[in-house]
Structure 1
Amino acid sequence: MSTTSIPFSAQLRATGREAHQAAESQRYVTALVAGDLDRAGYTAMVVQHHVIYEALEHAAEAMRPDPLAGPFVDDALTRLPALAADLEFLLGPDWRGRVDPDPATVSYAERIGEACAGSPERFVAHHYTRYLGDLSGGLHIGRSLDRHHGLTGEAGAAFYRFDRIPDPRAYKDAYRARLDALPLDEAGRATLLAEVLVAYRHNTAVLAGLSRLVPGGAEAAA
């Protein structure tokens, strides 16, 4: 069966499956879901997310009028206000002066800025990688934070609450339908697929760096 007969969203999922599993299996993610991190360990990830989504949502504003990428730009997905609220809750009103992103996070944000500049295909790759993950495993993480730390959409975990998306499954189905309808030639599909792998590599590097915050992380990494 040729790849042209396979829905593009299915090609994306298949291409990124191993990379996605590598990210999900990072010690930091396992510890976060299990409740093995203290609040500072969780807060460090919120700091990294703010830097990443600042780059992505800046790119989204630039891509809003683009005929290919624009349909994916949806204010219902916007995460920056929620991340700012979470950081204010976790660190206080002066949080902006107290955050120091990891080098891997800075590299990830720089890649988003460079890749998305003038390339709607690469923008869609980063958009897909982040937001569909947020609407899948991210919701599970939000429930874990409530259970283990008492953090909720109102206090410290607003990032994981999508008030304007009442049915995440239906939203993801519609998102994949937009992917399948993208008017891409072979080169455009290849560009988008390759950038998805780049996005996963950067995300995994960020999570690997955060593993230092897992109890015993330094010994395990030695």
Structure 2
Amino acid sequence: MPEGSGNTMPPMMPPHPGLDMISDNYDDLKKKCPAFASGCPYAKTEEFNTLAASVGDISKCPAFQEGCPFSDKSKEELAVLIESVPKEHPLINPHELPSCHEGELLVQALNAFLSQIRQESDIILDGHAHKQADAIEFLEDPQLAGAMREGTKAVHKAAENSVFTKRFLRGQINRDEYGRYINSLYFVYKYVCSMEALLEKHKEHPTVKLIYFPTEVNRKQSLLQDLEYYYGKDQVPDLIALDKMTPAVREYVDAMESACAKNPALLIAHSYSRYLGDLSGGQILAKRLKTHIFHLSEKDAEWDTTEGLNFYHFEAIGNVPEFKEMYRERLNAARVDAATRDLVVTEAVKSFQLNIALFDEVEELSQKKLLAPTLLRGEIKFPDPAELPKSHEKRSKKSWTIATSVAVAVAAVAVGALIYKRVQKA
């Protein structure tokens, strides 16, 4: 449509040579197309109310500034060109372009051509992937679990020697510190780019799928339950808002996302350090919480409670030692080459370092008195075991004194009654 022509209908384009055979003869498409001889036929359209015009400023499309980009290319070159179209490129419905019948036919033909090219490309890429996989020298017995255990010994020791961990093991942390700790872990486990979200995303990866056990180990619900216990349901949404993510937690989450971008297999390093840690050392920490936060003894009926301690309770796992052994066997059977194994071990070391930074951050926030206060709840408190004998002795003496007094009083009344009766008889 000429510029400034108002409602004047555009002149009809000359018939396209060879359009009837376009799906079979691509040479006809690249020869001489009248519709695109002077650039894109849509470039000067004034039908701005159509879908074609609404998807963007099509008059500035670089592909057609110098004529039809298909007119001088072979089938292979056309395939490369079409494959280079970005995925976010807006789609155009040819039926929204009634003013250019030839353009509509061309779009339809190119759509069909694109589908064919992509199918052929997928076959080629798939075959190439198989060839690459065949070329990789996978380790027959990578012993990945053992490699990570050996590779993380030093940093594991460093984690145990952090101030926060030492205080935790001694039973010296308070409720607010533990609340902040599991608040941080919530982001590590369940943030949109967290460990469990990434494991879900890459669960079909041949290495990741070996250790993907969402039903058995996922911690989302348990962490939420514990946060609600310590802070109340009304306060939790604010605590887990993304803008409340602390620097150490943000670094942890970003590191996992970065590792996954390099190779999804690196996720197993984070899964290993967290889940196996929760199933091993985490059980010791749970006992410290029961003893020093809840003031329970193993002899108490409430000792097996999970209230406030759901994070360490793996209900879907029957026999924990057997599950851990199976988990390690799966890791040892991972199909990796030597380079990938080394990368996984390095990532496992980094995972421990990230956890240490998280511990240190909780300790620092506590020292600066920047922790959100947890709720004060009525707890069943038991006296210090060392004081029990003394307390028991006091209660026994008191009970004996009361019993003796009552007995003496009863005896006195009885004697008095007997004397009274004798006096009356006399």
- Partner residue, 2:364: 212
TM-score normalised to the size of structure 1?
0.89
Q: 2:184 aligns with which of 36, 43, 48?
A: 48
Shift of 1:118: 6.1
Q: Deviations over 1:111-152 (max 9, x none)?
A: 112212462321111111111111110111111111111297
Mapped to 1, the partners of 2:290 and 2:315 lie a distance apart of 17
Q: Measure, in 2, the Cα distance between the counterparts of 1:92 and 1:6.
A: 46
Tell me if the contact between 1:153 and 1:160 (Cα under 8 Å) persists in the aligned partners: no
Give the number of equivalent residue pairs: 214
Measure, in 1, the Cα distance between the counterparts of 2:231 and 2:258.
Answer: 30
User: What is the rounded CA distance, in whole Å, between the counterparts of 1:139 and 1:63 in structure 2?
Assistant: 29
Gaps of 5+ in 2: 1-138, 296-303, 369-426
Distance 1:5 1:117 in 2: 26
The question of whether the paired residues in 2 share the 8 Å contact of 1:85 and 1:158 is answered with yes
In 1, the alpha carbon distance for the partners of 2:158 and 2:238 equals: 33
More helix per residue = 1
In the alignment, does 2:232 pair up with 1:92? yes
1:2-17 to structure 2, matched below 5 A, reads 7-17=143-153
Give the Cα separation in 2 of the matches to 1:58 and 1:153: 29
Letter in 1 for 2:178: Y
Deviations 1:124-182 (A, max 9, x none): 11111111111110111111111111297532110000111122211111111111111
1:156 aligned counterpart, secondary structure: coil
Q: How far 1:58 moved relative to its partner?
A: 0.4
Task: Provide the secondary structure at the position in 1 that maps to 2:360.
Answer: helix
Residue in structure 1 matched with residue 284 of structure 2 by the alignment: 140
Bigger relative contact order (CA 8 A; separation at least 6): 1
CA–CA distance in structure 1, aligned partners of residues 183 and 203 of structure 2: 26
Which is further off, 12-21 or 107-116?
A: 107-116
Q: Is the Cα contact below 8 Å between 2:171 and 2:289 reproduced in 1? A: yes
- Give the fraction of aligned pairs with identical amino acids, expressed as a percent: 27
Amino acid at match of 1:110: D
Structure-1 residue corresponding to 2:207: 68
TM-score (norm 2): 0.48
In our comparison, the structure showing a higher alpha carbon Rg is 2
Residue 30 of structure 1 is matched in structure 2 by 166
What is the rounded CA distance, in whole Å, between the counterparts of 2:232 and 2:225 in structure 1?
10
Equivalent positions of 1:110-149 (< 5 A) are 110-117=254-261, 119-149=263-293
Report the counterpart of residue 51 of structure 2 in structure 1: none
CA distance in 2, matches of 1:103, 1:65: 31
Deviations 1:43-96 (Å, cap 9, x if unpaired)?
010111101111111011112122221121102000011000100111111212
